[in-house]
Structure 1
Amino acid sequence: MRLLAGLSQKSLARRIGCNTSYVSKMECGAVPPTVDFARLADDALRAGGDLVDRWQTWYELRRRGDAGRQTAVSEAINVETASTTLLVTHERTTLSFDGDAYAITVLRELENRTERSYNGYEVRIHVDAFPDDVERSRVHHRAHPLVWDHLGFRCWWAPMMSDLDPRKPGAGPTIELVADPTQTVTDKMIEGWIRFEGKRYGELLTLHPGRRLALMYSYTVSSTQWGTWYQRRMRVPTRRLDVELDFPQGLRTLVWGKAITAGDRIGPLGSQIDEHTENGRSIWSWTNGKPEFGDRYRFEWRFGNPPSRQPEEHR
């Protein structure tokens, strides 16, 4: 990536604030990578999160491989208590389909375990109408790219997660925040930045060390851009993850899922996906009380009575 960016080791070292010999040792594997280095190099090389993802994969494989060796355990990084990252104490995501578009709402309670203050939070939105067919997906999304202004993205701040109600955005002690796109990574992926700044009155909010806050954000994606799947990757240490998938009962939806480890091993979710009906809706719920850092939890579904509008009509 450094060579593709046209940078020397000295130039990269200057950009991320370390010495040239450290960059050299990192590249040849003489020293173990750190998450701070991965983040700084990712930003300097405009890698779009790929270097951080690679560090997470490396760390998870190392952690699991060393689990039985006491010496390695004593030296291992405790991701949850590390001073380099935020902690998500609880995340609750709802995906709702009306036959034409998917509405996604994410609630996160954040705890600042670092030694610095935060004035914003990064989000990543990724869609794929045909995740199992790379070429078809590329052609389709080039004609139907993901556009920030079409998402209707909105976000809110509250002191506690219980203050946020996805059915009543803006109700209670909440403040609507400002959000901006930071880069369009591909035709299927956009990164954005939630500013801890009130949209109406311009309040400046900060997440200080040792403090918590709750965020809620929502957006809508057309069914021409979204396939029959939803996935959460644990990019931030998370204590609890709740996922709810909400469909019209008339679609006769069947939902299943799988867990994919950082080493790309596929296995069961570990707990059952429960279904119940409510007001003509089929609601599928799943909870993980201890999601693994770096793992992916993927949900897929099939409609027994599919809606008339499907991505195939827009090939």
Structure 2
Amino acid sequence: MTSQLEHAARTAFAQVLTAWRTRRGLSKKQLAASMGYHPSYISHVESLRHHPTFEFACRAEAVLASGGEIISRYEQCRQAAGEPAPVQVVRSDYEPSPMLPATLVIEEENATLTYADGWYSSRVERVVRNVGDRPVTCYPVRVDVDRFPDQPGVSRQLYHESPLQLSDLDFQASVASVGDERPEPMEVRVTRSSDAYLKMVLVFGNARARFPLYPGERTRVTYSYRVPANLWGQWFQRDIRFPTRALTMSLRLPASMGAEVSAESLSYAGIKGFSPTESPGENGTVVYTLRLRELLLTSQIRLRWRFDEPAPSGWADLAA
């Protein structure tokens, strides 16, 4: 039988949960989806029909970011019920990467680069799985360019005069459950910048809510940006910094430029060349595609090209 003290503690927990859910502008269904629970469970906790668990409180805190208030209220519930302190259990019901232990595994990546009207536009989609034992709240990315790789002095001067800035890239990022057509925008934070590159983290959250990637779960992260052709180059590169099961890189160029495209992989195992497939694209373009599986960590995959007709020249890098 529930004591008066326990009932008061559960009531306080439910009120705090409801208040933070309302503050974040989330319905019970939206909060449940973000936490990985059925919507009815949220209703039962808020109406005192269900006792909150430690896992429930942790997930609610991760999504609602109450500054610890939700966890504090849960502790009061636990103590009022006379329950022992929770024990952290490490998950073991997942298959770790055979390549190298990691928190994240990229199950599939599709990276596309398009040249049109004096701009290079990049779009990256990654299916990311959390194989760790704790929620993941952000994902690192990097934009790196170098138009004159063989002339470092010229390159430094170019980017010193025209440095990369996030506001100029039209950078956008979103996340959605695999198969879900309703992506959520991700907050973008620059962690380090130089004249020729930007390091960022994509936060699993925005001003409305947080939606961490929990252990065993997977999601689709998508981001895009564009760079003026005078700052870009003729290399498109992917650095393998997380275990990656499948990678597809596509390069879309005007057919009128008569591009010659090649590909290579650089790793501790050496340099290996590839021949991208070529197919006609829309609006007078040609699409060059490279597909690889089970890539080696720390390797670099490059598409490089040259034109029969005059066009922007140099080098560009896409990194995880």
TM-score using structure 2 length: 0.64
8 Å CA contact 2:143, 2:197 repeated in 1: yes
8 Å CA contact 1:262, 1:296 repeated in 2: no
In structure 1, what is the equivalent of residue 273 of structure 2?
Answer: 268
Q: Distance in 2 between matches of 1:299 and 1:253?
A: 12
1:193 to 2:201 alignment: yes
In structure 1, what is the equivalent of residue 280 of structure 2?
Answer: 277
In structure 1, what is the equivalent of residue 252 of structure 2?
Answer: 246
Encode CA deviations 1:135-179: one digit per residue, 9 max, x unaligned.
Answer: 22112211121111111110111111x55xxxxxxxx22112221
Match of residue 170, structure 2, among 130, 152, 155? 152
Secondary structure, counterpart of 1:246 in structure 2: strand
Q: Distance in 2 between matches of 1:134 and 1:108?
A: 32
8 Å CA contact 1:239, 1:289 repeated in 2: yes
When Rg is computed on C-alpha atoms for both structures, the one with the higher figure is 2
In structure 2, what is the equivalent of residue 113 of structure 1?
Answer: 131
In structure 2, what is the equivalent of residue 94 of structure 1?
Answer: 112
Unaligned runs of 5+ in 1: 1-77, 164-171
1:182 to 2:182 alignment: no
TM-score using structure 1 length: 0.65
Encode CA deviations 1:28-71: one digit per residue, 9 max, x unaligned.
Answer: xxxxxxxxxxxxxxxxxxxxxxxxxxxxxxxxxxxxxxxxxxxx
Q: Distance in 2 between matches of 1:218 and 1:303?
A: 25
| Residue pairs, 1:1-315, within 5 angstroms | 80=98, 84-160=102-178, 162-163=179-180, 172-184=181-193, 186-198=194-206, 202-262=208-268, 265-269=270-274, 272-279=275-282, 280-307=284-311
Instruction: Give the deviation of 1:233 after TM superposition.
Output: 1.1
8 Å CA contact 1:124, 1:189 repeated in 2: yes
Amino acid at match of 1:97: Y
Amino acid at match of 2:301: Y
Amino acid at match of 2:298: G
Q: Distance in 1 between matches of 2:224 and 2:205?
A: 17
8 Å CA contact 2:106, 2:243 repeated in 1: yes
Amino acid at match of 1:210: G
Amino acid at match of 1:196: F
Q: Which runs of 4+ in 1 moved over 4 A?
A: 78-83
Instruction: Give the deviation of 1:81 after TM superposition.
Output: 7.0
Instruction: Give the deviation of 1:297 after TM superposition.
Output: 0.8
Secondary structure, counterpart of 2:244 in structure 1: coil
Q: Distance in 1 between matches of 2:143 and 2:268?
A: 20
In the alignment of these two chains, the number of paired residues is 218
Amino acid at match of 1:251: M
From the superposition, tell whether residues 85 and 285 of structure 1 become closer, same or farther in structure 2 (CA, over 3 Å).
same
Q: Distance in 2 between matches of 1:123 and 1:238?
A: 15
Instruction: Give the deviation of 1:267 after TM superposition.
Output: 2.4
- For the aligned residue pairs, the C-alpha RMSD in angstroms reads 1.9
Amino acid at match of 2:196: K
Q: Distance in 2 between matches of 1:194 and 1:114?
A: 18
8 Å CA contact 2:110, 2:126 repeated in 1: yes
8 Å CA contact 1:181, 1:192 repeated in 2: yes
8 Å CA contact 2:102, 2:242 repeated in 1: no
Unaligned runs of 5+ in 2: 1-95, 315-320
